[in-house]
Structure 1
């Protein structure tokens, strides 16, 4: 069961964004909460790829390429092509209007962590998050009990954990049917008149679902994908890859981190 008031077991591992995750407790965080800050998504600026769950593929596909990375074939939304640079967070610390914000981002500063002494999940908060304050607009606890804000956060993180597990299952199904293939996205530099300038540049190597292999599946396997709800996600992923040009073109117009606009 998720716990918001338990002890302090060790937190191990690292998760994107989180610098100092601590098990949330009334004893240690009773006076804390969250406050409005000037740049609410500034923490996202250095993330060029963000994990997404399988249930998000449909809506995320309208904004970003969704690719698979690592041995676990973890799906991520590509939000930049350079390490340390997100191309979809504006100078005011907001995600550009009409672009989807993944649940992985929206749950911050909360996250679940496994309690090593049991099979429970503990609700943690990133104590280093800029919106966590001892002068909060919304407290974590009221009269020693989790506030509605905190209980809502628990429910959000519980649902995210369910969807994360479903995403792991989805990747295993796709892998078991041998549908993954390695792909490369490239970019041809051009001058203002549209003429090719210099050699083609590689942007990224990644794993994707093969449309050819998907279409060649035996009928019973195709129906299996449909019946377990995976087929729609497969096609959403394939459609999302059309967004590579959007990301690459945005990268061309944006200098690398720390480099001034000429």
Structure 2
């Protein structure tokens, strides 16, 4: 889990909390999608995977018609007449909208990290593969005044920061998966 800063067409920054499942785009598709089996991590998969091919971008709810999971001959139909299938609406759209409402809390968390100057650029090199990312600097976190640490703790931010720091050890595993 890392912190990513994206810049849109108008030059506005969007700060995001991201979990990486792979290092590069490829034709293999999802790492956990097995032929004849489906998703190998079914109940453990992140919400992004659960909601795909539906997504929220720029305040719009959309779906990716290039999703390999779409089929004209089997599965749940997208449409019932002129309206979206009620099952899909209930299980994807409604949940996606609820998730979008919680995005403000995540954004507050990320902005707090930047406001406290805790986010730094980092680089990891393993067997000639270099990965650059943003992370919380642990020393800066430790040096924060006790009252600030208490406030971070009361908001649940410290748990998220520690989860982020703990996740950084997985970069080497991700790189190994990429080169094999």
TM score, norm. by length of structure 2: 0.77
Would you say 1:69 and 2:4 are equivalent positions? yes
Deviation at 1:67, TM superposition (A): 1.4
Counterparts of residues 1-262 of structure 1 (less than 5 Å): 66-70=1-5, 71-84=13-26, 88-89=31-32, 92=35, 94-97=38-41, 100-113=44-57, 121-142=59-80, 146-187=85-126, 189=127, 201-252=128-179, 254=180
Secondary structure class of the residue paired with 2:52? coil
Task: Verify the 8 A CA contact 2:56 2:62 in the aligned structure 1.
Answer: yes
Consecutive unaligned residues of structure 1, counting only runs of 5 or more, are 1-65, 115-120, 190-200, 255-262
CA-atom RMSD, angstroms? 2.9
Residue deviations 1:33-64 (CA, integer Å, cap 9, x gap): xxxxxxxxxxxxxxxxxxxxxxxxxxxxxxxx
Structure 2: tracts of 5 or more residues without a match = 6-12
- The number of residue pairs the alignment matches comes to 170
**Offset from partner CA, 1:84-122 (integer Å, 9 cap, x none):** 3778335528554489422112111222355xxxxxx55
Instruction: Return 158-167 or 205-214, whichever deviates more.
Output: 158-167
User: Structure 2 vs 1, CA of residues 99 and 152 (structure 1 numbering), >3 Å: closer, same or farther?
Assistant: closer
Change (3 A) 1:128 1:90: closer
Once the 2 structures are TM-superposed, how far is the Cα of residue 158 of structure 1 from its aligned partner? 1.1
Q: TM-score, normalised by structure 1?
A: 0.55
1:82 and 1:126 map into 2 onto residues whose CA distance is 20
C-alpha offsets along residues 192-222 of structure 1, whole Å, 9 cap, x if unaligned?
xxxxxxxxx3421111001111111111111
Greater RCO (Cα-Cα under 8 Å, separation 6 or more): 1
Write the distance in 1 (CA, Å) between the matches of 2:52 and 2:68: 11
SS in 2 for 1:226: helix
Q: CA deviation at 1:140?
A: 3.7
Q: CA deviation at 1:129?
A: 2.6
